Structure 1
């Protein structure tokens, strides 16, 4: 289909295809994307066959392999093993023609809460470069151009979400401890990760300083779901009150991009801050926006 479309357009289309290295990444099941029984990619064992089919079309230009073992991964063993497996196939492919690029994907985890120890990107990159070179030397082939996709590692820590407290409610839990439920003006419509992946976040009081003691809290959203949790467990000053602003860090990746109008709630704006200046880069939705697609009915 790609070859036919490229031929009809009179272009030579650059093509790489995604293979599954079979490495089972140490992450949430929904975020592991390179094992055999799932929707992504093609078996590594078919790489040579498929590259041959691409090369057989004059309208296609085979430019390499792509692999992505998953997301939010801390352990580096999976990245190293996946690179090693891809290089063995790369060597075989190189015998049949040029393979300009080897895309080893991404999935490097970030710190969402205190105590998280994500991999250091420079160190992972150096380890993978060593593996690629060692394998290339072993097979006696030229080094490929290597690509990575460190998306979350770049944009994740760059974003935070600000919420306004609507109400609070103390709830007695095990062993006489009290947890304060802090309801905010957002929730799973702007951050679905807690509900989808049991993701953990932290929260801080953002609009003022407080000398009050620490209170165990759960930050929850405004939706009609008991699973509508923004921050499952953290501590805030005990005097947190309606109208306060809360900041939840590390929401730059997979929060706004996963946002929705769940329960018909408008999505919030996105504001860029640089060098002491702020500007809106995505306008927040209004109720009028939600209703704009409604079709009037008449007899």
Structure 2
């Protein structure tokens, strides 16, 4: 299946690359300085099965280190890769290649791990109406790249931050009730989508009486989720989306998707992934 990831977030990537190189190189790569001043070639080789993500980073990283470095790709962004598959080869001064090695691998392995895990979740819900969404549970500085990785793996992005969507959760509801909170959000931010969290069917009924665009079913049982879907369908003329969240793993994901919810939010995509092991082998 072909997925269309978001355009690569180049500016966010460059900001992160500059920070990563600054903290790694510091006053200079003292070990690489000991190597012979010659041109060499290194190969990026995959050591596991997964989805490759972050290939554009390789050129961006080496452009910051040494414009003489050349990168040739042998894999396509978002495609499945396997052990011993060559992903790219890099040619240039040995010192420069060595200096950028860890930054390239750190980012490429992490983003590919996120994309790989996302693809597993997406494949698990195939054939249902449910779509897999990420969350804001990302490492500082990695927000845009993490969400890019989720899209590359076939998932969808929830809000990017606190500014592009209203999400009224339980802690907000201790100050205002569901109806009042949604009404105020719609009045103040008419152009933003509004999502509200509910924990039971009583709260769901109240949320359905508002103009909320999305209703999050937080830590509901499968039985209650099924009832929530039936109840929501019974409200004529509504386009509200139901989103399941909390305690959902690959073990119970399929059953959650079969309840009929439209969206499933998974924080693990960007905080509990395993990296895709990739090495840089010098010729």
**TM-score (structure 1 length as normaliser):** 0.28
Whose strand fraction is larger, Structure 1's or Structure 2's?
A: 1
Larger radius of gyration between Structure 1 and Structure 2 = 1
**TM-score (structure 2 length as normaliser):** 0.29
Whose helix fraction is larger, Structure 1's or Structure 2's?
A: 2
Name the structure, 1 or 2, with higher relative contact order (CA <8 Å, separation 6+).
2
